[in-house]
């Protein structure tokens, strides 16, 4: 189950796969995929599960479901140099080659010092401007438009069980997407009066704004 929110006069759809779809622009937006994170841990001798196949399959399914023509990645495409292995690069290159008609733009994040994007993914940019939005990695307000960003991996804690869930968080001037990468965790964010927060709970996106006031 998705949720809808109106931001800066635009209708946005929030999906439980942690993607944001902007229907008018036919654009899918993700933040912080951290490709190669599991490989980084394994390179350090930590035997964690995971690879790039699952997030890429999830991303492909989201593009197909929304019929998006453009993909925006709001930084931290990579996790670390150790995870930018030949196998991961080859997998990402093949995924991109299978979608030649998809427009892709990449905002550079602080983790993207790991190296350049794979072939056909394009080049890093510092930020993008589209309609009323400034699309960036760091959630810093600007006078140039409403900021959509990543970086924080926002989450909320709910219930007596103190269940932590990733969330979409929209303030007066800045909105932050949850990390698209499954192996990234979530950090509690301060939901203030007037903010909108939507928790990703399994197969649903739930408006928890009132619960957090």
Return the HEC string of the chain. Answer: CCEEEEECCEEEEECCCCCEEEHHHCEEEEECCCECHHHHHHHCCCCCCCCCHHHHHHHHHHHHHHCCCEEEEECCCECCHHHCCHHHHHHHHHHHHCCCCCEEEEECCHHHHHCCCCCCCCCEECCEEECCEEECCCCCCECCEEEEECCCCEEEEECCCCEEEEEEEECCCEEECCECCCCCCCEECCCCCCCEEEEEECCEEEECCHHHC
Tell me which residue of 40, 45, 8, 50 sits closest to 135, measured CA to CA.
8
Helices (H), the chain: 37-43, 53-66, 86-97
Q: pTM for this one? A: 0.93
* Correct CATH for 3-212 of 3.60.21, 2.40.10, 2.60.120, 1.20.120: 3.60.21
Q: What does pLDDT average to in each consecutive run of 10 residues of the chain (213 residues)?
A: 96 98 98 80 59 86 97 92 84 95 96 90 94 97 98 86 87 97 79 92 92 57
Report residue 34 as tokens. Answer: 């951290």
Using the structure block, give the residue that is written with the tokens 């800066």.
8
Do residues 77 and 112 lie in contact, with contact meaning Cβ atoms separated by under 8 Å? yes
Predicted local distance difference test score (pLDDT) of residue 53: 80
* Confidence (pLDDT) at 48: 58
Predicted local distance difference test score (pLDDT) of residue 85: 86
Residue 136, SS3 per DSSP: coil
């Amino acid at each position: 189950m998705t949720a809808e929110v109106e931001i800066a006069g635009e209708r946005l759809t929030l999906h439980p796969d942690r993607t944001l779809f902007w229907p008018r622009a036919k654009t899918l937006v993700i933040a912080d995929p951290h490709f190669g994170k599991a490989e980084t841990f394994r390179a350090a001798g930590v035997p964690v599960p995971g690879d790039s196949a699952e997030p890429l399959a999830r991303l492909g399914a989201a593009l197909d479901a929304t019929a998006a023509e453009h993909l925006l990645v709001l930084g931290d495409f990579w996790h670390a140099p150790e995870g930018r292995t030949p196998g991961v690069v080859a997998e990402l290159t093949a995924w991109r080659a299978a979608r030649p008609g998809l427009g892709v733009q990449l905002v550079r994040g602080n983790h993207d010092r790991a190296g350049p994007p794979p072939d056909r993914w394009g080049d890093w940019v510092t930020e993008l401007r589209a309609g009323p939005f400034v699309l960036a990695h760091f959630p810093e307000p600007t006078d140039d438009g409403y900021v959509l960003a990543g970086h924080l991996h926002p989450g909320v804690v709910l219930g007596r069980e103190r269940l932590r869930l990733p969330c979409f968080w929209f303030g007066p001037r800045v909105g932050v997407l949850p990390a698209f990468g499954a192996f990234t965790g979530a950090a509690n964010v301060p939901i203030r009066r007037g903010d909108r927060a939507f928790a990703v709970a399994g197969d649903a996106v739930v408006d928890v704004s009132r619960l957090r006031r």
